[in-house]
Structure 1
Amino acid sequence: MLFSKLLPREGNFFEMFNHHADRIVESVQALSQLVANYNDEDLRHKYGQAVDSAEAAADLITIEVNRSVHQTFITPIDREQIHALINSMDDVADLVQDAAETMDLYDIRHMTPEITRLTDLAVKCCERVREAVRLLDKVADQSVAEAALKTCAEIDQLENDADRVLRAAMSKLFREEPDVRELIKLKAVYEQLETITDKCETVANHIEGIILENA
């Protein structure tokens, strides 16, 4: 199958993937700013809105991709691969929004070093997802395919790093946090942030499958 051409009028799936990946990075960078400025209520609200806006834009792209799949006679890659990729990407945007909402709904008192570290890893994972997605329409070139697979491997490593941070964070939390309610709230936030990296790994797995089947 050709990676570079679609039927006229139907737009470009790879361009839509790229736009969606941009929205993912926008949302997670806004989340990072929310965490960094958590003590400033106005900035927290500002960046929370930025997360919501990026997620809403990502939803619209997901809808357009799924619509285009049904209206396009010849797709550049398998239809199931398109569905799996865009829906897993949308899950990442949803999880970023969920993390921001959880912090607000649970009225977290303060940001911990573990929240900052997990957020940083989520940002790096999402940025790598964008890098890999941008290479998809060129993976017929072996060197590009290898670069994309390398980026996917980096996502896997970042997810492993997040797993280790989560385990250490949980251990510290149960040993040192005397307030049970605060413990429960922080545990939920830690797990939510780590799940972002899990879903990025799922996206990477889909990208790897596309590359191996179509490169």
Structure 2
Amino acid sequence: MRQIAALPYTTSADGAMQILLITSRDTGRWVIPKGNRIKGLSGHRAAELEAYEEAGIHGIACPASLGRYRYDKRKRNGNAREATVEVFPLAVTGQLAHWPEKGQRELRWFSVRDAASAVDEPDLQAIIAAFREPPRQPGRFIAMLLWFRDKQNERTAMFSWFHALMPKQGRFFEQFEAHTVTLVAGADALARLLKGGPDMADHIKTISDREHEADDIIREVLQDVRRIFVTPFDRSAITGLIGVMDDAIDQMNQTAKAIALFEVTEFSAQMQDMSAIIVECARITAEAMPLLRSLNLNATRLHELTERLVKLEGHADTLHESGLKALYAQARLGNPMDFIVGNEIYSHLEKVTDRFEDVANEISGLVIDHA
């Protein structure tokens, strides 16, 4: 039996992430919203529907799954059948007052660690545990021991020793993390924008405001790069990373501007799915930035995150191609201008995901050079 499930999550202003679990109607154990695949609906769309019916939540489901887990589904006659469940991340945007299964289940928000402990299935535990917040940074003494351990068998030039022992200056890590806040907020507003509705103007303004905030941050970074003597990484690596992050929010803003210019109010499923991928890319980037403070400790996790960013960009390319093909077919039968307008929006969305792949490449370069 093949099923789908949503992993509902939300992130507070301070970066704390929470996972929503619900109880099973049969056993009362903690599970995530799940159900059978629905004919005519893609997996993540069916997961959105299950989340609505079972938990009364709506949000943005990424079309790229986090993985699969197995469990034994009990039948009414007492027999069991193995089910394989594909899990899609769902960024929760709201909770409804009424839904089909209200009162039949208990709903509770957990921390990521507690959510992983609450579910029974080992594979699901691993999926939730990997969907985690950045670990706390080690103390200064532990960090120093780790640094000397990594250097004990390495011949290091005198200047490198001098550079490593000098106190690091600037607020680069704080600036990276502050920029990811604009990325997450901009991506969320973009996904809401592509759902249409009466609040489109508000979402466009939100994206524009976040883009202006990002501009202020990159300006501060470039000023610090010029004036500070000792930086945590090579200056070109710092400017390269913040540059591609800024390009991502710029392209989100360009997408919103194109939508406003052409007065588009309805969007294809492929466009909406690309925006959902952008939401997931922004979340991953926000998790990755704090990990740069301790590259030696976090190299493995950074590799996992950058690998997912690259895969998400590839998934977006597939959506872009299928969306353009469908758009062209429709335009041949209707208004050719629709293809021109749609192609413009698709182009900007693709560029956003391309920039997140650039973020992955910049982070990978830092890991190779410093971890």
Q: Normalising to structure 2: TM-score of the pair?
A: 0.54
Query: Could you tell me which residue of structure 2 aligns to residue 157 of structure 1?
Result: 311
Query: Could you tell me which residue of structure 1 aligns to residue 276 of structure 2?
Result: 120
Out of 148, 168, 173, the position equivalent to 1:6 is: 168
Deviation at 1:211, TM superposition (A): 1.0
Q: How do 1:12-91 and structure 2 match up within 5 A?
A: 12-36=171-195, 38-40=196-198, 43-91=199-247
Out of 157, 160, 166, the position equivalent to 2:320 is: 166
- Give, as a single letter, the amino acid of the residue that structure 2 aligns with 1:160: G
1:33–1:47: 8 Å Cα contact kept in structure 2?
A: yes
Deviation at 1:54, TM superposition (A): 0.7
Residues 47 and 182 (structure 1), Cα distance of their counterparts in 2 relative to 1, 3 Å cut = same
Deviation at 1:4, TM superposition (A): 11
Deviation at 1:2, TM superposition (A): 4.9
2:191–2:279: 8 Å Cα contact kept in structure 1?
A: yes
Question: What root-mean-square deviation, in Å, do the aligned CA atoms of Structure 1 and Structure 2 show?
Answer: 1.6
- Give, as a single letter, the amino acid of the residue that structure 1 aligns with 2:200: R
Which structure shows the bigger proportion of residues in helix conformation? 1
Could you list the per-position Cα deviations for residues 174-213 of structure 1 after superposition, in whole angstroms to 9, with x for gaps in the alignment?
Answer: 1123210111101111121111000100111001001110
Residues 68 and 5 (structure 1), Cα distance of their counterparts in 2 relative to 1, 3 Å cut = same
Which structure shows the bigger proportion of residues in strand conformation? 2
1:28–1:122: 8 Å Cα contact kept in structure 2?
A: yes
Paired positions, count: 207
Deviation at 1:45, TM superposition (A): 1.1
Q: Is 2:260 the partner of 1:104?
A: yes
Could you list the per-position Cα deviations for residues 96-132 of structure 1 after superposition, in whole angstroms to 9, with x for gaps in the alignment?
Answer: 1011111111222412112111111111112212222
Identify the range of structure 1 (83-92 vs 168-177) with the bigger mean alpha-carbon deviation: 168-177
Residues 3 and 89 (structure 1), Cα distance of their counterparts in 2 relative to 1, 3 Å cut = farther
Runs of 4+ in 1 over 3 A off after TM superposition: 1-5
1:3–1:138: 8 Å Cα contact kept in structure 2?
A: no
Could you list the per-position Cα deviations for residues 2-51 of structure 1 after superposition, in whole angstroms to 9, with x for gaps in the alignment?
Answer: 599523xx3x2111100001111111111111222x231xx111111111
Residues 27 and 195 (structure 1), Cα distance of their counterparts in 2 relative to 1, 3 Å cut = same
C-alpha separation in 2, matches of 1:4 and 1:64: 22
- Give, as a single letter, the amino acid of the residue that structure 1 aligns with 2:343: K
Q: Normalising to structure 1: TM-score of the pair?
A: 0.92
- Give, as a single letter, the amino acid of the residue that structure 2 aligns with 1:174: Y
Q: Which of 1 and 2 has higher RCO (CA within 8 Å, sep 6+)?
A: 1
Q: How do 1:130-145 and structure 2 match up within 5 A?
A: 130-141=286-297, 144-145=298-299
SS in 2 for 1:204: helix
C-alpha separation in 2, matches of 1:82 and 1:89: 11
C-alpha separation in 2, matches of 1:65 and 1:22: 15
1:114–1:190: 8 Å Cα contact kept in structure 2?
A: no
C-alpha separation in 2, matches of 1:99 and 1:150: 29
- Give, as a single letter, the amino acid of the residue that structure 2 aligns with 1:13: F
C-alpha separation in 1, matches of 2:268 and 2:314: 20
Q: Is 2:369 the partner of 1:207?
A: no
Aligned-residue identity in percent: 27
- Give, as a single letter, the amino acid of the residue that structure 2 aligns with 1:27: G
Higher CA-based Rg: 2
Mark the runs of 5 or more structure 1 residues left unpaired by the alignment: none
C-alpha separation in 2, matches of 1:48 and 1:72: 36
SS in 2 for 1:16: helix
C-alpha separation in 2, matches of 1:39 and 1:30: 13
1:23–1:55: 8 Å Cα contact kept in structure 2?
A: yes
Mark the runs of 5 or more structure 2 residues left unpaired by the alignment: 1-162
